A and B are shown apart, each in its own frame.
Chain A
Amino acid sequence: MAKVTIDGIEVEVPNGSTIIQAAEAAGIEIPRFCYHERLSIAGNCRMCLVEVEKAPPKPIASCGYPVADGMVVHTDTPMVRNARRGVMEFLLINHPLDCPICDQGGECDLQDQAMGYGMDHSRYAENKRAVKDKNLGPLVKTVMTRCIHCTRCIRFITEVAGVPDLGATARGEHMEVGTYVEKALGSELSANIIDLCPVGALTSKPYAFVARPWELQKVDSIDVLDAVGANIRVDARGPEVLRILPRINEDVNEEWLGDKSRFSVDGLKRRRLDRPWVRVDGKLQPATWSEAFAAVHEKLRGVPGERIGAVAGNLCDAESMLALKELMVALGSSNLDCRQDGAKIDIARRDFYCFNTGIAGIEEADALLILGSNPRREAPVLNARIRKTWLNNGMPVGVVGTETELTYPVTALGAELSVLSGLIDGTHAFGKALRDAKKPMVIVGQAALARPDGSAVLAAAWKLAGEIGALAPDWHGFNVLHTAAARVGALDLGFVPGPRGRDLAGMLGGGVDVLWLLGADEFDTSAIGPNTFVIYQGHHGDAGAHRADVILPGAAYTEKHGTYVNTEGRVQHGFMAVYPPGEAREDWRIIRALSEMLGKTLPYDTLEAVRARLAQVNPAFANVGFLPRFGASDLTAPAGDPAAIGSEPLVPAIASYYQTDPISRASPTMAACVTAHAPATAIAAE
């Protein structure tokens, strides 16, 4: 540790820290453009100049200058102020004065810092340079004349995203940031460069000229478009959600967000179910709530409990799934399922279906086997964490599956699951690499579980984890990576077939007379029996709604207070940013209202009461936000015979990153991404 005095405040920081980090520790803010705590140090903006006693008598860039014991730093002397003013003047020489038409206005670092260090006029009378705008695809809008060459975007795309597409070409007056050859950015995390850009050079293309930051209501929420549960901020104006930005949560998404989660927002305004519908004479007709409820009531009367089924979708909040499950139980049905992909998951214990290592825990791992998952497409933020770990310790990564371009080098073990036996008994070369590791990890994806022999694969993966030492008292290296945000919550609530209950496959083809789809669109709805009465409760007119006999309009994730459990098993609350459109209502309230009409009144009518009931059903729901780290205490394997693995090769769990759910399928921006990235962009790991 080194003792440093900054503006009279003494702080102790680890050796090797830089002055800017020490200042941060002392609570002193130093202006900066190029420095970012999650990227490598570039030291090229020169805005963070400070004065250091007994150092060379010149301003020192604090972002790249390591501290020494006893160092005395001044961040606010006349010399420092003058130096920063000089830097600012140079930065503004080629920066256009177009703040009134710039989307960054109001949240621009350059604007803010020019208030502190800018002059009231410019001494530069010559022509400013102009740079041609680049086309970086459908998400990132560029106005390259505004670029101040901080290179944050280049460093992010190269280091964090691992898709080195951006660079600085030419030099001096002619230096330009761009891709050199015109191409769309090939990363699923590309839009984070919009947040990183300290000026208006990179802004959001779909959000261009839509709103000013001070017009927006900012509400904290949780992303549901993948199972990572990234923390987001929903920015709304009036009844409209205008954009979604990441919030910092070191344990989950750091400060990154996948492109789909950020830009599917325009899908929230399209194809919405904003009123109830009832099918009359084979055609869906608009109806009132009471008509819709009456139709459901009419149909359910006289249908025995075992002929009723319910399927929970991928975007559901835990509250609505709890209400639906309890209504089904009250009606005498145990036909429940939340696994639309048919994944064979053992819910006997929570660590059979959670990402037990934790997302932050990945950084401790020193070897990784990915089994039937493409984290780059299924959970890009989590994939960035794997890449970060690989950058830190160069851990070997093996992939059983078809896709191997994961932004870090991998050992491709083929798509055949027969390789598992070799890994388990250690005869395979990669099995040795896993055994040599101190903290090995296994990630099992849905592609490995959503197949007839899924439980065998799960058991084999557990066995492998035990063999390689991933199941230790202080290290739980067995992980299931989900693709659906609602999945772990549903499993925690036991939204799976009860005793003698039917699973989704059993409910299809006339297995039940009444089928309640709670936002379930990800299975082949044409397989539902022709005489099955389908109640669709959800927010988008997608596959499920087309087959429905009654549509109950629900709320999307930005329109309700919801509890979501991410793939780690972390319980998080999202808050309502806007009201649901038209007559749509919060989902658990719809079920609660209907239960009263059916004479099976559910015993809660406030959000607090539902959440209290959630915690009663599974104590995990009482633990919001925080997830304790745990080791593997019980080595009992999940049900399944590891020897019963079939010979079918693995197929990817999701076909396209950009369209996986009703919201992203309704989004024109996501459709544009699909077009821009077809065929899939090739990457070169650097």
Chain B
Amino acid sequence: MAGSPDSPGNAGFEQPASFALDAESEAEIAKLVAKYPPGRQASAVIPSLYVVQRQMQRQTGSAWVPVKAMDAVAHRLGMAPIRVYEVATFYFMFNTRPIGKYHLQVCTTTPCWLRGSDEVTRTCRELTGIKGWGETSEDGMFTMTEVECLGACVNAPILQVDDDFYEDMDAEKVTALIAALRRGERPKVGSMAGRQGSAPEGGPTTLTTLSFAPEA
């Protein structure tokens, strides 16, 4: 993810020769720019990069931001291209190299790790054939990335697929999820153990006697 497109770590893939914002992206960026005072349109750079990353996903099936797309954002927002490169390379949510169809982001920070993220990682690797972080499976379906705390520790461990959280994972649920993804399905997001939000499993365990009846 780091470094310039011509650095060795990023060799082995091709940058598209051109990139143009499509109508959908244009409309989204216009909405973003409108949130800021005139002349401050550069503030919209982060969401705009998301917009072009999603456009790449629509057009190529791989959600990433090529240099030409960064240039398009720079041009659209009246910024120097290097200022966009800086932002796009700073945040790891922007993929500066092509990824697979599904982006599996495994949280391995302490709460997820204590709750079994190692098992999630191992299962993902076994099922996709991916050896190391940041790699893409040979069939081009999956890219696996190690991410830091996703902020859903109550439902640890988390496996984020693209923009969606799948929570309360274990080996079995990962297997089912990946099988569904391979079939082109998107299971319902959230807790895979059937919890409502982050409520306790199997229903409330405290405050069960609380009555909401109006006081006499």
Q: How distant is the Cα of A165 from the Cα of B8 in the complex, in angstroms?
A: 21
Min CB distance B68 to A, Å, is 10
Residues of A near B8 (CB, < 8 A) are 132
Task: Identify which of A16-24, A179-187, A313-321 touches chain B.
Answer: A179-187
Min CB distance A657 to B, Å, is 21
Say if the beta carbon of A171 comes within 8 Å of chain B.
yes
Say if the beta carbon of B6 comes within 8 Å of chain A.
yes
Task: Identify which of B83-91, B128-136, B159-167 touches chain A.
Answer: B83-91
Say if the beta carbon of A170 comes within 8 Å of chain B.
yes
A178/B83 contact (C-beta < 8 A), A169-B89, A170-B89, A171-B89 known: no
Interface string of A325-365 (1 = CB under 8 A from B): 00000000000000000000000000000000000000000
Residues of B near A134 (CB, < 8 A) are 4
Interface of A is mostly: loop
Q: Do residues B80 and A180 form an inter-chain contact, with CB atoms below 8 A?
A: no
Cross-interface CB contact of A176 among B2, B5, B82, B83, cutoff 8 Å: B2
Q: Do residues A164 and B85 form an inter-chain contact, with CB atoms below 8 A?
A: no
Residues of B near A178 (CB, < 8 A) are 4
A179/B82 contact (C-beta < 8 A), A169-B89, A171-B90 known: yes
Say if the beta carbon of A684 comes within 8 Å of chain B.
yes
Say if the beta carbon of A510 comes within 8 Å of chain B.
no
Chain B: how many interface residues by the 8 Å CB criterion? 19
Q: Do residues A164 and B80 form an inter-chain contact, with CB atoms below 8 A?
A: yes
Q: How distant is the Cα of A564 from the Cα of B90 in the complex, in angstroms?
A: 50
Q: How distant is the Cα of A413 from the Cα of B6 in the complex, in angstroms?
A: 41
Q: How distant is the Cα of A40 from the Cα of B1 in the complex, in angstroms?
A: 29
Say if the beta carbon of A400 comes within 8 Å of chain B.
no
Residues of A near B89 (CB, < 8 A) are 169-171, 180
Q: How distant is the Cα of A169 from the Cα of B184 in the complex, in angstroms?
A: 36
Q: How distant is the Cα of A47 from the Cα of B81 in the complex, in angstroms?
A: 31
Look across to chain A and name the residue whose beta carbon is closest to the beta carbon of B75.
Answer: A684
Say if the beta carbon of B52 comes within 8 Å of chain A.
no
Chain A: how many interface residues by the 8 Å CB criterion? 20
Interface centre among A134, A171, A182, by most chain B C-beta atoms within 10 angstroms, is A171
Look across to chain A and name the residue whose beta carbon is closest to the beta carbon of B79.
Answer: A686
Say if the beta carbon of A28 comes within 8 Å of chain B.
no
Say if the beta carbon of B67 comes within 8 Å of chain A.
yes
- B residues 70-121 near A (Cβ < 8 Å) are 74, 79-83, 85-86, 89-90
Q: How distant is the Cα of A181 from the Cα of B82 in the complex, in angstroms?
A: 9
Q: Do residues A176 and B85 form an inter-chain contact, with CB atoms below 8 A?
A: no
Interface string of B5-47 (1 = CB under 8 A from A): 1111000000000000000000000000000000000000000
The 7 A-B residue pairs with the shortest CB-CB distance, nearest first, are A174-B2, A164-B80, A170-B2, A167-B82, A180-B85, A169-B89, A170-B89
* 22 A-B pairs whose Cβ atoms sit less than 8 Å apart in the complex: A134-B4, A167-B82, A167-B83, A168-B86, A169-B3, A169-B85, A169-B89, A170-B2, A170-B89, A171-B2, A171-B90, A174-B1, A174-B2, A176-B4, A180-B82, A180-B89, A181-B67, A181-B81, A182-B6, A684-B79, A686-B80, A686-B83
